[in-house]
Structure 1
Amino acid sequence: MNLSLQDPFAVAKEFPETLTHTLSAGGHSVIIQFNYKGDYLASGLSDGSIVVYDLASNGGVVAHLQKDGHIRAVTSLCWSRCGRYLLSSSQDWSCKLWDLSRANSPDRQVSAVIRSVRFDGPIWSAVLHPSNPFQFTASLYEDNPVYVDTTDEDKVVITTLQTQPFEANEGENSTERRTPDTEPETKKKKTEKHMTLVTTFEPRQGKYIFTGTSKGWLNIISSETLQTVHSVKIANSNIKNLVISSNGRKLAINSSDRVIRQINLPDFVNDSNTPELWEFEVEHKYQDVVNRLQWNSVAFNHNAEFLVASTFGQSSQDLYVWETSLGSLVKILEGSNEELIDVKWNYSRCMIGSTGLDSGCVYLWSVQFPQKWSALAPDFVEIEENIEYDEKEDEFDIVDDEILVQKRLEQEEDLVVDITTMEKFDARGFDIEESFVIPVKYE
């Protein structure tokens, strides 16, 4: 009796549901990041080293970056689009750019760190420019964010970014009548310092830098002029996460008021409007009104149709998945026995990864497709129970092989196969890009 196997193409699953892997090699993981192609997973550890897993080989360790690395816990990781470079920031006040072609070099004198920048304080996070892996932004603790250009190895250019939003329209053009009692409060409000907690680039061309402040302001800075071009107040509390979808259409803002806000972004590439005319209206708000959960981290899937978030607190150990078009909760991913911190979405493999707070393990949720035996033979039929088979009259007649070959050639005569032109998209619709392959030491 054959089992009725589900066809993976009959019901398209666009988000994972099952916990399939638990990775714990190297040490206590605190931060993770998938590369653009989805073949590698970088895990930053609490001791400052970085472990790179090869997802194509079922999670085997392909590199362990620790020579000339960080001496304290890693705070952020960011891959270059080509997959060769990896940027890391740490609590040791430094950012390092790793060249993974040197990760497993037989020469022990060769270091994988090709750029290292040290700041005057701790670093919240650092993000690489989408087009240039030698430029990045870093948000510093109790200091202004910076834009760093390390193209020239001997001369590192560090530019301080503006943190104060545009607040000129609040007081100068206002017709509201002021009193002596309210005037000092207005001046005090203007002099309050906005600390930038998180920065990120517009993902397609990197024309703009998005920054979130401790007062709930979203500032947009031009990456060419490094001047603020637009400011809007989103919340009344700290902005912890800024996540832009890979297609650049949606923005998710995670703040300390237990609300995740989803915003539709303008087309920065083709939009001819001036930045002053941009509108950032909140499309959906995601929150747990019953338990009032705080959210640790958020991530979009490849086309921004789904949003996943990890929850704060020992009592909650799940991941929440929402549908962004309606703003409704569609799935709660279970399986871990501890609080989950960082969460990332692997676009190519439809996989969600997260780190555990207590154990430091990396949990991976994937889509499991049962085997479809009918794909092996076109005439194979799957049945749910035993049935009586009726033999055809000519089923076992001896037929000349030449006749069968001739019939097959006649059927394939009109089929034209192009073996020279390379496809631009794979079967799932993703761009086919050449990605760097980390060399492996087989000894």
Structure 2
Amino acid sequence: MNLSLQDPFAVAKEYPETLASTLHYGHSVVIQFNHKGDYLASGLSDGSILIYDLISNGGVIAHLAEDSHTRPVTSISWSKCGRFILSSSQDWSCKLWDLSKVNSDEDDVELELENSSAMIRTVKFDGPIWSASMHPQDHFNNEEEEEEEENNRKRKKVEKHVTLVTTFTPNDGSYIFTGTSKGWLNITKTDTLELVHSIKMANSNIKNLVISSNGRKLAVNSSDRIIRQVNMPDLINITDPDEWEFETDHKYQDVVNRLQWNSVAFNHNAEFLVASSYGQSSHDLYIWETSMGSLIKILEGSNEELIDVKWNYSRCTIGSTGLDSGMIYLWSVPFVQKWSALAPDFVEIEENIEYDEKEDEFDIIDEDALTKKRLEEEDMDVDVITKETVDARGFDITQQSFVIPINYEKSLLG
């Protein structure tokens, strides 16, 4: 009903323009939306994790505090089903959380919000973990083994290169993309952990690697102040790594202020790219259109440097964290309700107007013709059983996602 009342032109807009809300509970360091876009996980500087319910206008529904990390959280990754969360931290560990065990108990015993049983697995390493990614398909059975191998690669030197960032290929997770301190992009096959392809992308550290959800574009953020947009090869149909070509399509940089970029993110179809800038004097997010490589929007509203930035695909929302306050800023598209979407002859007026009667408005209506027209309309087959498969913006609404249990009788913030 609400989607029907929204302006179809506003619904079709694919990038936000307005700072819609802020979330502030604890000092947020990193954020991550779940795949369906109805939850937001926030990693805090004290090592705990908050879960916000975006459907209820940003209310906190879970606080993973007991058995949490002892130092700031560095990354958060959701399973595709929305039930599990993988977190990494500067305390040299990765933790796997089962959200079905938050705020619930089989014996109906009232539990504390900080439910220690939600943490189901911990893996310790020999150094701080700066990022960890959950396999897009095999997220539970083998994720500990794969994450251990992936994060161990961060501390191995290959030809005097140190691996700094990693990411799985979307959908199937068959390859691991890694960026090194010398600007090299290395691609490893997930099942064999064999290095299959290497290419030099920059002459400095690679800070971020982001692959679009459709697998068509790759964004490489390096410390030389340039974000490189790369066209991805067809990794499924082209099985020979020697035939892969990674062509740089566009380079994004601020030639005037020479800004560094903290974090980058694509929208759902890789038509837009957003980045947060480094430096106390820069408080904005930059959005580029990826086909032409042009800057189309600067998101303003924050009064501090923005660090982590993520794109909520289904709700067309961009989230970012503030460096000083730890506040979460959310930019979205302002949707205006249009009643004319339900009644084509409905007219919105801002002030009283003098009504002009139509010439045939009160003419006698032929009841027989009206009845005949009504009967013809009743003969039309109207399907009222089949459910819609997509929403107003074209996203699949048949995808099942885990619903986090909520204890409504307790204060969620303690």
In the superposition, the TM-score normalised over structure 1's length comes to 0.83
Q: Shift of residue 136 of structure 1? A: 4.0
Q: Shift of residue 197 of structure 1? A: 0.7
Q: Which stretch shows the higher mean deviation, 426-435 or 391-400?
A: 391-400
The 3 A distance-change label for structure 1 pair 37 and 409 is farther
Q: Which amino acid aligns with 2:382?
A: V
Q: Which amino acid aligns with 1:43?
A: S
Structure 1 position 237 matched with structure 2 position 204:
yes
| 1:73-84 correspondence runs (5 A) | 73-84=72-83
Structure 1 position 225 matched with structure 2 position 192:
yes
In structure 1, distance between residues paired with 2:402 and 2:375:
41
Structure 1 position 258 matched with structure 2 position 225:
yes
1:212–1:219 contact (8 Å) kept in structure 2: yes
| 1:31-70 correspondence runs (5 A) | 31-70=30-69
Q: Shift of residue 105 of structure 1? A: 2.1
In structure 2, distance between residues paired with 1:199 and 1:47:
24
The residue aligned with 2:17 is 17
Q: Shift of residue 130 of structure 1? A: 0.3
Which residue of 333, 339, 352 maps to 2:299?
333
In structure 2, distance between residues paired with 1:210 and 1:119:
21
Structure 1 position 267 matched with structure 2 position 237:
no
Extract unaligned runs of 5+ from structure 1. 138-145, 150-156, 166-191
Extract unaligned runs of 5+ from structure 2. 410-414
The 3 A distance-change label for structure 1 pair 376 and 219 is same
The residue aligned with 1:324 is 290
> SS where residue 132 of structure 2 aligns?
strand
Structure 1 position 414 matched with structure 2 position 380:
yes
2:164–2:181 contact (8 Å) kept in structure 1: yes
- 1:365-424: CA deviations, max 9, x gaps? 00002221323533312346654322246646898999978754532421330514x544
In structure 2, distance between residues paired with 1:44 and 1:235:
30
The residue aligned with 2:128 is 122
The 3 A distance-change label for structure 1 pair 193 and 61 is same
Q: Shift of residue 121 of structure 1? A: 1.0
Q: Shift of residue 76 of structure 1? A: 0.3
1:126–1:136 contact (8 Å) kept in structure 2: no
User: Number of matched residues?
Assistant: 395
1:161–1:227 contact (8 Å) kept in structure 2: no
- 1:342-372: CA deviations, max 9, x gaps? 0000000000000000110000000002221
1:48–1:72 contact (8 Å) kept in structure 2: yes
The 3 A distance-change label for structure 1 pair 414 and 353 is same
Q: Shift of residue 69 of structure 1? A: 1.1
> SS where residue 123 of structure 1 aligns?
coil
Which residue of 187, 191, 212 maps to 2:179?
212
In the superposition, the TM-score normalised over structure 2's length comes to 0.88
Structure 1 position 97 matched with structure 2 position 96:
yes
Q: Which amino acid aligns with 2:136?
A: P
Q: Percent identity?
A: 72
> SS where residue 276 of structure 1 aligns?
helix
Q: Which amino acid aligns with 1:331?
A: K
Pair member with larger Rg: 1
Q: Which amino acid aligns with 2:71?
A: R
In structure 2, distance between residues paired with 1:352 and 1:164:
35
In structure 2, distance between residues paired with 1:409 and 1:361:
60
- 1:64-112: CA deviations, max 9, x gaps? 1112111111000000000000010111111111100111124547610
Structure 1 position 351 matched with structure 2 position 317:
yes
The 3 A distance-change label for structure 1 pair 164 and 121 is closer
- 1:237-270: CA deviations, max 9, x gaps? 110100000000000000000000010001222x
In structure 2, distance between residues paired with 1:263 and 1:62:
39
The 3 A distance-change label for structure 1 pair 311 and 160 is closer
The 3 A distance-change label for structure 1 pair 21 and 159 is closer
1:36–1:81 contact (8 Å) kept in structure 2: yes
The residue aligned with 1:428 is 393
In structure 2, distance between residues paired with 1:90 and 1:342:
15
1:147–1:160 contact (8 Å) kept in structure 2: no
Q: Which stretch shows the higher mean deviation, 313-322 or 11-20?
A: 11-20
The residue aligned with 1:176 is none
1:8–1:369 contact (8 Å) kept in structure 2: no
Q: Shift of residue 310 of structure 1? A: 0.2
